[in-house]
Amino acid sequence: MLQQCASALVCPLCGASFEVEGRSVVCHNRHTFDLARSGYVNLLPSTRKLAETVGDNQEMLSARKRFLDGGYFDPLVDALRRSARESTEGPVEPEGYAVEVGSGTGYYLAAIKDALAGTPAEELCFFGIDISKAAARMSAGLHKDITFLVADVHKGIPLGSGNARLLLDVFAPRSPQEFARVLHPNGRVVVVIPGSDHLGELVSRFDLLQVHGDKEEIMLKDFEGTLRLTDRTPIQYDVSLPAQAVQDVVEMGPSARHLSDETRLAIDETTALTCTASFVVLTFERL
Ligand SMILES: C[S@@+](CC[C@H](N)C(=O)[O-])C[C@H]1O[C@@H](n2cnc3c(N)ncnc32)[C@H](O)[C@@H]1O
Ligand SMILES: [Zn+2]
């Protein structure tokens, strides 16, 4: 996969384009980044030390995989599949790509790739970007037909300008300027944020980190003047979670790092729970 898609990458150190040489990608100014055994490319400059808590760790990712595989967020997946098909209608250029920022286990990106099979957009290169090496390792192992990169979206997306037909961001950090830079003139940015009542019953029962009531407003302000909002689709439904899923949905999220022993015990003792799943899918295009 990397061989066919390496020309879409740009060097995070100098902006030059890359070629594959053996088990490395090398830019025209000879900056070299190795291909990991599991198949991802780490494009974080090697001098950069990340704090322990940056990016999802292995335990969070395993919980996320178990939870997502349970299909509890399927209505969101269906909406993303539809949106991906609508967003990528028409012919695609050879340098076109689709990318997910903060791709985690690669679950949503793989679903989108699958939804585009049989359309012209199946020719796009597919990239997943995450700051977590554990995420890149897991997702590269699970989805061999997608290229996974380790990079920090706040420092820049290591992909060429103007070629992203689709940029997906699900519950992950955002950089509107970078999103606008990589976006193709007909491309779409699809951002999913939690609704303010997302998993509300769990949040109040276990005193988890709460979604900011004005999260959407803050993010729209952030995008203002950079990208234009073209669609807003709220998704809300009740979901019944068995005990394992209750544990996993807590362990996979930001609360996992802040749980008291008491809360952990309460979660472990929970048998099952019905709660609200609530998302807002926001679609943007270039100004
Ligand atoms: C809440 S998870 C969502 C993962 C995936 N989109 C999903 O919904 O299953 C957020 C992801 O963003 C990644 N992440 C955090 N900070 C990042 C950054 N600065 N650049 C790129 N990825 C980042 C984390 O490692 C994690 O995988
Ligand atoms: Zn370079």
Tell me which ligand sits closest to the C-alpha of residue 54.
1
Tell me which ligand sits closest to the C-alpha of residue 150.
1
User: Quick check: 274 and 201 in contact, CB under 8 A?
Assistant: yes
Whether pLDDT at 87 is above 80: yes
The gap from C-alpha 166 to its chain's centroid, in whole angstroms, comes to 12
Distance CA 150, CA 40 (A): 8
User: Quick check: 125 and 96 in contact, CB under 8 A?
Assistant: yes
Residue nearest atom 25 of ligand 1, based on CA coordinates:
55
Q: What is the pLDDT of the chain when averaged over all its residues?
A: 94
Q: In whole angstroms, how large is the CA radius of gyration of the chain? A: 19
Widest distance between CA atoms in the chain: 57
107 CA to centre of ligand 2 in angstroms = 31
Q: Which residue has the tokens 């606008």?
A: 180
Ligand 1 contacts CB of residue 130 (under 6 A): yes
pLDDT tens string 193-248:
999 999 999 998 988 887 777 999 999 999 999 999 999 999 999 999 999 999 99
Domain ranges of the chain: 39-46+54-286
Residues 6+ apart with CB under 8 A from 129: 99, 100, 101, 102, 103, 148, 149, 150, 151, 153, 157, 158
Lowest mean pLDDT among 1-5, 50-54, 74-78, 167-171: 50-54
Other C-beta atoms closer than 10 Å to the C-beta of 234 total: 11
Ligand 1 contacts CB of residue 202 (under 6 A): no
User: Quick check: 48 and 54 in contact, CB under 8 A?
Assistant: no
Distance CA 232, CA 281 (A): 6
pTM: 0.96
Whether pLDDT at 46 is above 80: no
Ligand 1 contacts CB of residue 132 (under 6 A): yes
CATH of 39-46+54-286, one of 3.20.20.140, 3.40.470.10, 3.40.50.150, 3.40.190.10: 3.40.50.150
